[in-house]
Structure 1
Amino acid sequence: MSGVQQQPIDALRQAGGGASQALKATPTLNATVISYLKRVFLTHADQDGKWSAGQIRRFIQHVQRNDDATPAAAKLFGEDDGEGRIDVNDFLAYMTSEDSAITLPWKTCDLSWPLPSYFISSSHNTYLSGNQLYSDSTTDAYTNVLLRGCRCVEIDVWDGDESGLSSESSSDDEAPHASDHSEKPKKRHAFSKLKHIIPGSLSAKLERTSLGKERKPRSTSKGELEAEPVASLEDGAPNIVSEVAAFEPRVLHGYTLTKEVSFRHVCEAIRDSAFIVSDLPLIISLEVHCGADQQLMMVNIMKEAWKDMLVREDEVKEGALPSPNELRRKILIKVKYTPPDARTTPEADSGEDDGLPSDKPPAKKPSKVIPELSKLGIYTRAVSFKTWTQAEASMPAHIFSLAENKFLEHREKHGAKLFSHNKDYLLRAYPSGLRIRSSNLMPTIFWGSGAQIVALNWQQTDAGMMLNEGMFSGTGGYVLKPHGHRPSSSSGSTSNTMTDKTLNLKITFLAAQSLPIPPGDNSSKSFRPYVKTELHVDACNSHALGRASSTDSRDTSIRHKARTRTHKGTDIDLESQQVSFPEVDGIIEELTFVRFMVKDDELGIDDLSAWACVRLDRLGQGYRFIHLLDAKGRLTEGNILVKVEKTLTEDSVPV
């Protein structure tokens, strides 16, 4: 039976970037919303209560700032009464179309630039269904994020179950001490590590389980540590390379209580969902904790599952990395780089540090990545970061990975070097291991410093994932960086000027309908909603524009936020309340976000009911519907009618 489970139907309607713009229509209108829209129509109508073709065009072009050649607009022009005029019902039909969504349709970006010129929608510890300590690892998690538009997933791979095997395992071949690699000491180490960060009550319970009981390591002689090197694929090794082959690699979060899943089943799940929503390249970020034999099995499994989806060595182009357009329907493997003149690298994983308190033995030597596996990292060769001047830092296909705190440290101390590096080369940033509840960093800060791959915990709907939706909604998972954040065009035809703007934004809240109630609430009778609006300008606070940088990704440096009054019920008249953000300078439209949150006004913490997030350059003007997602990131029938007035003045800054 295949390990690929049924695809979650809700994923296509869930936040992440995959949701279709066609889902952003408003099929029904309540009486309050209709009342406001009728007033809008009559404000622009002639004495007979109708609009001429010229009035239709002026409303669409000058009030809504929309294209008058869309299917919905064409239909509106075609609804005239024979004299080129429309009535209020025709207007209401137009306003229920996707043309009135607050998020403007994605205009396909230029996909011909090299890979480092794009922000890429990315997942962290993709296999987890919940928190970082004791949730399940599932194949459904991969299916879910891929159907939501994710283009970079992570797999942590460990040796398969060693029950019944002799001590001559692949781990033994790589380790200075056999006990360092045996499964039982790993469990003891996991408990010791977790005791630092979990509540005392849970710690006491775990002490009584097998995880908290010390096991003696297997005895291994010195001779066994000096085993012969494992045969390579080039040596003609068969698919089943040793006794270990009976136990395939597994995927889990090491040194925790998380449950495992088969590596083969993960690869099959990825194969089945990789290119359903987007045909743009998918990056697989491998964290390899396996011995050599099991690494050979990994290679075989990936080649068997992904076949022609993998980039072949004979397809490689020298020099700059290829573009997303050249890599459509291709899978790229990010794995530790093994130099051609070396059989192995010093460590097996990508050099990531989870940031957790650790009592790992200092003498422990990680497993080594074998050449056969390393060769699969054709355009994404993971290299441990040491300095910005290390030899690999100018290798076109290298990719550094930095934990959020390390990234922010470099942003503060070496911001110009970080920004310059990220114009030409890939860099992945990922959350601190201390985020055990799977909370997220604020991706805007990392995007602002040029990081292409900002990995997030997709199982959590928080500010980080909301901003990710704002960046990638409907895009296919790749967004071209703004001018000044990518390399200069070799032809010189493209300006490398960063455009710094001053924003004046006013939003008038008119009415809301079908608001979802917070999770756990069973009735709308006690629901007291208000709308909170935040303008995120963190990413614009860039060293490239001569500004100071924040040193904490959890402090979003939001200087602009406002809220409406509290109301009651799920269908409400917002009474034309206004929020304004005047004269906000230093704005880069592509890196600025407007986030709307509907919250329940109650004692203590106000629960989140619904939300939406829009990138500033895609924020529609005029009369718009904010289509709301619920607290789990699922598209709802709830929406808010608003009027948006936005003006920007430019001031170019050469970089």
Structure 2
Amino acid sequence: MDSPYSLLAQDDEDLRAMKAGATMRKVKSRSWKKQRHFRLHDDGQTIWYKSKWAGMGHSTFSVADVEAVREGHQSEVLQSIAEEFPAELCFTLVFRGRRGNLDLVAESVSDAQAWIRGVRKLVQNAESMDAKERLDQWIWDWFQKADKNKDGRMNFKEVRSLLKMMNVDMNEEYALRLFTLADESESGCLENEEFVQFYKMLTQREDLWQVFQDYSQDGQMLTLAELEDFLKQEQQRGEGSRDHAQDLINRFEPSETAKKQGAMSIDGFQMYLVSPEGDIFDPKRLELHNDMSQPLSHYFICSSHNTYLMEDQLRGQSSQEAYIQALKRGCRCVEVDCWDGPNGEPVVYHGHTFTSKILFRDVITTLGEYAFKASEFPVILSLENHCSLEQQRVMAQLMDTILGETLLRAPLNGLVPHELPSPQDLKGKILLKAKKIGGLEESETLNDEVTDEVTDEVTDEVSDEDEAEPKSPSVENLSAEELGLSRKKSKLSSELSDLVVYCKSVHFHGFENSRLHSKCYEMSSFAESKARKLAKEKGMEFMQHNSRQLSRIYPSGRRTDSSNYNPQEMWNVGCQIVALNFQTAGLEMDLNDGLFRQNGCCGYVLKPDSLRNDDAFDPERPQECNGYKPLRLSVQVISGQQLPKVNQKEGSIVDPLVRMEIYGVSKDQAKQETSYINNNGFNPLWNETLNFIIHVPELALVRFVVEDYDKASRNDFVGQFTVPFACIQQGYRHIHLLSKDGTALPLSSLFVNIKISELTTETE
């Protein structure tokens, strides 16, 4: 059996060169440059590398984990050795998720080019595969893993080992029966197509077969009318379901005979249900569909805190790469902490800690290059300014020179606004969020002498005493002043002040003061505890404030491990810029990713009507609001498919359970879970129904979590997927699971049946 990759490699000179191997330097820093021998494994998708002295030991990574190849000195590490090694020998492999880059220096230009072109071809090939090709590749991969002696055949002992690797504890007698049925040549081994047959028997989806049988009169095919009936009854398709049924047959039915008859086989039915069309997330909601012409204050904005950090905020590495990763994920508000650096050059790092420093110039260069690759809508640069007047002028000059026309320097059309412009109006623009002396109204009358006056804090995040970073063992020798406990006045340069247009940072003096005196372009930042207190005690006023003004929320200074707060509490009252530590995986980033996966992943999501208007919406008392319409969410958790192993010990198999978590207003916070299934991560079957009442559907997020049950200790995380309630498709759906890092877990999914119905207040 040939892998789709190996077929590609047979005719490709670059891939043949990769399979032959090449010695390259793996570079971690200016002082760490070590030779390693790299080669593409015979499976065509695994790259091995080892040192001469490693004996039999080697490291590997999958081509599927590579997101992109950067040519030349396009990483901080390779830039640091640019004088030693020319650009044409250097390249960087960028991995998905939070895994660090791999920086390499080839011995010749031809080697470098062969690997750059070859890896790009393999990445493109992986991304362009359809569901059937991905499945073929997956089967082939398992065949390779199980074929221990590499003879292209698999005996029953190897098959038993394979089943353990595939996370299934199957009765040996049943496994032998399947093996014997598949061994048509009666050789005692499975070869090529025999293994495919074994896999098909192993993965027969009884759960899907049962649904198919419910609508197929002859049990073999779904006619066009039967498929249309299924779409109406189960998938909640109304108008146009006949045309939709025909379209599904054309796209997913593998049998030409069935296609000609206008029918769908069980194979086509399965292909449809595991495709994006059968996904829980409505494909139409994945596309850019929001009205993008409303004021900025009417949108949730994907926002990062301490964007420069790859790790924690005490000792972590600062890196341009962190900005690249955040921007690629659709982040539209990045933070830059600026401090005076040597040689008159401002630096970026988490002040008065042991985090590494990077040049402000390099951060702005990275922002200029990557700001609009994932989204064309505006980027807000949130500036935490701790610099002297001299270096503030340098910052202004660098932004002006490097960002050029993308940097917004004046109000649109030269007019002082009564409301903020829209994301549509500001496409391709970078907005500076910082302190500003005076307002847009007075900008023409200001002069240097006035603008260099002493002002309030130049930085936003010198927070109240209860939010200041405490002393800890790692920073115990730093003074209170160094830890930011003192609040002092600073000078602001006119050059920097002039670059602030629609995001002027101001101190918050209460909702009444804001309502009477604030300009639409003024915005405040709130530490999480202050925002949480306001949301709980004055939720309606906070919501009304956020219908007019931008608010930025940031994590407590006590979070020295760069952990995150729950952003949902802030979204409930319409806060737009809810800044999270993107480098820290977990529930909070899952919610953020879930909310911003919709609307083309553009980083802007239009807030619900209730949060955009100056109406009386109170998230703590939704039942008292106009238009209150609670809904019942009923989810039958049917089965799971190919769940990954969490414990790599031989013989270890997961005991999976599924937990559903609802995040929204206080009344909607809820969790329910299924029972656990013993020793089956391959095809566990639950058939359990979980029910919820959703009081404010437009704000709710639904998170599905799979865990490995452990009665003696905490359950291990297996996978998750988070979806806005408003983006859920009803009916029989697959949920394609993501890892802790938010990357796809190939072929790992849950199969569910979702029903949403209206709930009257009388029957609640």
When normalised by structure 1's length, the TM-score is 0.75
Query: Contact 1:402–1:429 at 8 Å: present in 2 too?
Result: yes
Question: Which secondary structure does the structure 2 equivalent of 1:567 belong to?
Answer: coil
Structure-2 residue corresponding to 1:101: 279
Structure-1 residue corresponding to 2:67: none
Say whether 1:539 aligns with 2:665.
yes
Question: Which secondary structure does the structure 2 equivalent of 1:572 belong to?
Answer: coil
Structure-1 residue corresponding to 2:607: 481
Say whether 1:87 aligns with 2:265.
yes
Structure-2 residue corresponding to 1:241: none
Structure-1 residue corresponding to 2:564: 440
Residue 630 of structure 2, aligned match among 502, 516, 525? 502
Residue 424 of structure 1, aligned match among 548, 559, 567? 548
Question: Which secondary structure does the structure 2 equivalent of 1:129 belong to?
Answer: coil
Structure-2 residue corresponding to 1:307: 404
**Larger % of helix: which?**
2
Structure-2 residue corresponding to 1:123: 304
Query: Contact 2:457–2:487 at 8 Å: present in 1 too?
Result: no
Structure-1 residue corresponding to 2:418: 319
Query: Contact 2:253–2:259 at 8 Å: present in 1 too?
Result: no
Say whether 1:290 aligns with 2:466.
no
Residue pairs, 1:57-206, within 5 angstroms: 57-65=228-236, 72=248, 75-76=251-252, 80-105=258-283, 106=285, 107=287, 108-161=289-342
Question: Which secondary structure does the structure 2 equivalent of 1:99 belong to?
Answer: helix
Structure-1 residue corresponding to 2:745: 636
Give the distance between the partners of 1:482 and 1:639, measured in 2 at CA: 32
Question: Which secondary structure does the structure 2 equivalent of 1:581 belong to?
Answer: strand
Question: Which secondary structure does the structure 1 equivalent of 2:231 belong to?
Answer: helix
Structure-2 residue corresponding to 1:592: 700
| Pair 23,328 (structure 1): closer, same or farther in 2 beyond 3 Å | farther
| Pair 506,24 (structure 1): closer, same or farther in 2 beyond 3 Å | farther
Structure-2 residue corresponding to 1:627: 736
Give the distance between the partners of 2:603 and 2:682, measured in 1 at CA: 34
Question: 1:607: Cα distance to partner?
Answer: 2.2
Residue 51 of structure 1, aligned match among 205, 222, 226? 222
| Pair 625,444 (structure 1): closer, same or farther in 2 beyond 3 Å | same
How far does the alpha carbon of each residue in 1:217-262 deviate from its partner, in whole angstroms, 9 at most, with x for none?
xxxxxxxxxxxxxxxxxxxxxxxxxxxxx33111100121111111
Question: 1:279: Cα distance to partner?
Answer: 1.0
Query: Contact 1:292–1:369 at 8 Å: present in 2 too?
Result: yes
How far does the alpha carbon of each residue in 1:551-606 deviate from its partner, in whole angstroms, 9 at most, with x for none?
xxxxxx83332233143243132242x14124x25x22221121111222233222
Give the distance between the partners of 1:516 and 1:136, measured in 2 at CA: 31
Structure-2 residue corresponding to 1:348: 458
Give the distance between the partners of 1:483 and 1:614, measured in 2 at CA: 20
| Pair 523,515 (structure 1): closer, same or farther in 2 beyond 3 Å | farther
Question: 1:474: Cα distance to partner?
Answer: 4.2
Structure-2 residue corresponding to 1:8: 94
Residue pairs, 1:312-391, within 5 angstroms: 312-313=409-410, 315=412, 316-317=414-415, 318-339=417-438, 340=442, 342-343=450-451, 344=453, 345-353=455-463, 355-357=468-470, 359-360=480-481, 365-390=488-513
Question: 1:397: Cα distance to partner?
Answer: 0.4
Q: Which has the higher contact order (CA 8 A, sep 6+)?
A: 1
Give the distance between the partners of 2:606 and 2:131, measured in 1 at CA: 27
Give the distance between the partners of 1:479 and 1:51, measured in 2 at CA: 39
Give the distance between the partners of 2:731 and 2:128, measured in 1 at CA: 20
Moved more, 447-456 or 352-361: 352-361
Moved more, 279-288 or 29-38: 29-38
Residue pairs, 1:399-478, within 5 angstroms: 399-475=523-599, 476-478=602-604
Structure-1 residue corresponding to 2:682: 571
Query: Contact 1:609–1:630 at 8 Å: present in 2 too?
Result: yes
Give the distance between the partners of 1:538 and 1:451, measured in 2 at CA: 14
Give the distance between the partners of 1:645 and 1:255, measured in 2 at CA: 51
Structure-2 residue corresponding to 1:613: 722
Question: 1:116: Cα distance to partner?
Answer: 0.5
Question: 1:537: Cα distance to partner?
Answer: 4.0
Moved more, 445-454 or 609-618: 609-618
Question: 1:453: Cα distance to partner?
Answer: 0.8
Give the distance between the partners of 1:421 and 1:149, measured in 2 at CA: 26
Give the distance between the partners of 1:73 and 1:122, measured in 2 at CA: 42
Give the distance between the partners of 2:129 and 2:561, measured in 1 at CA: 31
Moved more, 507-516 or 331-340: 507-516
Residue 517 of structure 1, aligned match among 631, 636, 645? 645
> Alpha carbon RMSD of aligned pairs, Å?
3.1
Question: 1:3: Cα distance to partner?
Answer: 6.2
- For 2:593, give the aligned amino acid: E
| Pair 276,364 (structure 1): closer, same or farther in 2 beyond 3 Å | closer
Give the distance between the partners of 1:125 and 1:74, measured in 2 at CA: 49
| Pair 393,33 (structure 1): closer, same or farther in 2 beyond 3 Å | farther
Question: 1:390: Cα distance to partner?
Answer: 3.5
Give the distance between the partners of 2:217 and 2:630, measured in 1 at CA: 37
Larger Rg: 2
Query: Contact 1:118–1:479 at 8 Å: present in 2 too?
Result: yes
Give the distance between the partners of 1:7 and 1:629, measured in 2 at CA: 22
Moved more, 87-96 or 137-146: 87-96
| Pair 498,486 (structure 1): closer, same or farther in 2 beyond 3 Å | farther
Query: Contact 1:499–1:588 at 8 Å: present in 2 too?
Result: no
Give the distance between the partners of 1:405 and 1:388, measured in 2 at CA: 17
Question: 1:356: Cα distance to partner?
Answer: 1.5
Give the distance between the partners of 2:685 and 2:531, measured in 1 at CA: 42
- How many residue pairs get aligned? The number is 536
| Pair 630,81 (structure 1): closer, same or farther in 2 beyond 3 Å | closer
Residue 581 of structure 1, aligned match among 679, 687, 691? 691
Give the distance between the partners of 1:32 and 1:558, measured in 2 at CA: 36
Query: Contact 2:661–2:704 at 8 Å: present in 1 too?
Result: no
Give the distance between the partners of 1:408 and 1:46, measured in 2 at CA: 57
- For 2:372, give the aligned amino acid: F
Query: Contact 1:512–1:638 at 8 Å: present in 2 too?
Result: no
Give the distance between the partners of 1:32 and 1:499, measured in 2 at CA: 47
| Pair 627,81 (structure 1): closer, same or farther in 2 beyond 3 Å | closer
Give the distance between the partners of 1:325 and 1:423, measured in 2 at CA: 18
Question: 1:510: Cα distance to partner?
Answer: 2.9
Give the distance between the partners of 2:129 and 2:568, measured in 1 at CA: 26
| Pair 650,312 (structure 1): closer, same or farther in 2 beyond 3 Å | farther
Structure-2 residue corresponding to 1:192: none
Question: Which secondary structure does the structure 1 equivalent of 2:500 belong to?
Answer: coil
Question: 1:72: Cα distance to partner?
Answer: 4.8
| Pair 89,528 (structure 1): closer, same or farther in 2 beyond 3 Å | closer
Say whether 1:559 aligns with 2:740.
no
Question: Which secondary structure does the structure 1 equivalent of 2:403 belong to?
Answer: helix
- For 1:263, give the aligned amino acid: F
Question: Which secondary structure does the structure 1 equivalent of 2:628 belong to?
Answer: strand
Moved more, 529-538 or 71-80: 71-80
| Pair 347,48 (structure 1): closer, same or farther in 2 beyond 3 Å | closer
Question: Which secondary structure does the structure 1 equivalent of 2:612 belong to?
Answer: coil
Give the distance between the partners of 1:137 and 1:633, measured in 2 at CA: 22
Report the identity percentage: 30
Query: Contact 1:628–1:636 at 8 Å: present in 2 too?
Result: yes
Question: 1:73: Cα distance to partner?
Answer: 6.2
